[in-house]
A = this chain, B = another copy of it.
Amino acid sequence: MEYVKDFNWKPNLTVKELVQNYGNIGFQSVELKKASEVIVKMKKNSAKIFLTFTSNMVTSGLRGFFAQIIKLKLADIIVTTVGGLEEDIMKATGEKFKIGNFNTDDVELHEKGINRVGNLFINTESYMNFEDRITPILNKLYEKQKTWAVSEMLKEIGLMLDDESSILYQAAKNNVPIFCPAITDGAFGFHLFLFQQKHKDFIVDVVKDFGNILLCTSQDDKKGVIALGGSISKHHAILACLLNGGAEYAIYMTTAHKTSGSMSGATTNEAKSWGKVKDESDIATVNGDVTIMFPLAMIYAMEVLKEDGLLEDN
């Protein structure tokens, strides 16, 4: 049994030291420390790691961190929504997003051509530039083949980009598949539709991609899940785990609560009833904002893994 310990600052405190202290503070800091340890175990025990996140995290500066995590071989499978992939491409092709304010007048923003995501701002112009960039990409894809499974298409797109901080680029380069079960739910979907209007035999095969996610791990693999936020990204990863016997490791980080019965708020405990994680799995659910909490937990894990010589770079 661990005891509560009085926390004390000392100059030049590192993130790793702070997270170590969190384990003896209380409430969510304790859960965050637990989550950090689960990440360390995933890697030490060679689990295949699913990393899932929502679009708004790619809007944020976590995007480069996700790319770095892929580069460092700390994620084996990515599941996300299409909005984030669009924005990854935008950023990889020069668009810049701004730090704004949660309380700005939205009608004024609309008049200025600024789209708000919480306290972040995306120019409508960035979406227009995206349109210019996505059309030649779709043309190249179509030249290669007519029917595409989603993750195969995303890999191909990643190979066309040239940005070390891009999720699509790093995933493609490191053979990490990206699954996106709702590929049409965004501007990208609109452009796929326009393209198909001109090329009737152009098909995006989502059913085939279900096989791809199913087969990228197996009953024999140890499996770990890092689910940031909720949505289908989280659900799709744990469904794939369920069909392969359940994950050995899982951490959920979310602002949602279990009281709503929603997927976003579903806990790693609830996942046990389904067999999404194993009965005896190592799990942690941390409640709060991912932009603050995920870097803390992940950096702790990275520092420990580095010390233990388990952090590969490519």
Contacts and interface: CB of A to CB of B under 8 A. Distances in A.
B255 A119 contact: no
Contacts of A98: 1-4
A296 B293 CA distance: 11
Interface in A105-155: 106-107, 109-110, 114-120, 147
A235 to B, nearest CB: 6
A236 interface: yes
Nearest to A83: B235
A110 B279 contact: yes
Contacts of A63: 6
A31 interface: yes
Given A56-B261, A204-B206, A118 B189 contact: no
Contact of A255 (B55, B257, B299): B257
A299 B15 CA distance: 11
Given A116-B270, A182-B236, A231-B231, 6 more contacts: A4-B98, A25-B62, A28-B289, A197-B211, A230-B231, A259-B287
28 contacts: A1-B98, A4-B97, A6-B61, A8-B65, A9-B299, A14-B14, A15-B15, A15-B18, A21-B61, A26-B56, A26-B120, A27-B119, A27-B291, A28-B289, A29-B295, A106-B273, A109-B272, A110-B275, A147-B203, A182-B232, A189-B239, A190-B210, A229-B262, A255-B262, A255-B265, A256-B256, A259-B289, A260-B289
